[in-house]
Every structure is written in structure tokens, then in C-alpha cells.
Amino acid sequence: MQREFPEVPLVGVGAVIIEDERVVLVKRAHPPLQAEWSIPGGVLEVGELVREAAIREAREETGLTVEPGELLGVYDRILRNPERRVQYHYVLIDFLCRRVAGDLAAASDAAEVRWFSRDELPVLKLAEDTLDVIRKGFSNRKANR
């Protein structure tokens, strides 16, 4: 699978893990978005269901076992190089998830992982769609209590 300069868009899944009014974010260890904070997630594997991928990616990046619930959104992530050529193209499918087991620890593609409160998010300069899906996660979690 060619992630950089792909011939077709790749499907990515994200796990919006919220607990005690905090959300888990990972600092990416590799491109795209290297050294930036984002929700745990990655590329769907052939033969894998999207919810299974959310569980796998959350475990691989955070050490947490999660249960995916509500679909929060589907987003386009297209990043272009300086010549305006599409360097990365993902269709992202993000789920609201709850922790069922495990302790938070950076693993796999995560350089760092931690819980953030809502008040801490603005200084992180998250991608607009990332911030949008986290806000939806907080709102939907509160509404479903």
C-alpha cells in the first residue's frame, strides 16, 4: 500500500476516546502529521471491519482496549506537497469509543500519548476536522449519559 502519493484514497479510522471529560490524543511519530497531536487511528487493513480497525489502532497506539460506539463523522484529509500534487489522501471514519481495559502508554506510531481536557485543546493547533470530531464526541457523550 502506497501511503505517499497514492493512486487511490486510503481509508483511515479514528478512535475518539473520552473519559472523565478528557480525550486521548497521540503525538504522531511518522508522516503525515509527524510531531502533531491527533486522535488515535490508522489505515484500514484488507478484510478488516472499520470498528475492528478502530479497536486495533487504539490498542496499538495507546495501549487501551476500547469499544467503538457511535459514528461521529466521515472526513476528507488531503495533504498536498509544495507543487500542489496530492501527497496524502485519506477518507477518515471516526468513532466515539470508551475504554474497557488497559493503561495509557505510547506505542506503535505514537511518539507520545496523553489525556487532554477540553480547555487544553486550543493551544495544540489541531486540524479543524480533528477538533470538530472531538467536540462532537464530547457533546454526544454528554447527551447519551
Asked if residue 5 is part of any domain, the answer here is no
How many structural domains are present in the chain? 1
How does pLDDT run across 102-114, given as a tens digit for each residue?
Answer: 999 988 778 899 9
Residue-range definition of the domain harbouring residue 32: 10-143
Provide mean pLDDT across the span 123-140.
92
Q: How high is the mean pLDDT of the chain? A: 92
Of 4, 21, 45, 112, the catalytic one is 112
How does pLDDT run across 85-104, given as a tens digit for each residue?
Answer: 999 999 999 999 999 999 99
3-state secondary structure labels for all residues of the chain: CCCCCCCCCEEEEEEEEEECCEEEEEEECCCCCCCCEECCEEECCCCCCHHHHHHHHHHHHHCCEEEEEEEEEEEEEEEECCCCCEEEEEEEEEEEEEEEECCCCCCCCEEEEEEEEHHHHHHHCCCHHHHHHHHHHHHHHHHCC
Q: What is the CATH number of the domain that holds 96?
A: 3.90.79.10
Asked if residue 2 is part of any domain, the answer here is no
**Residue 112 bears catalytic tag:** yes
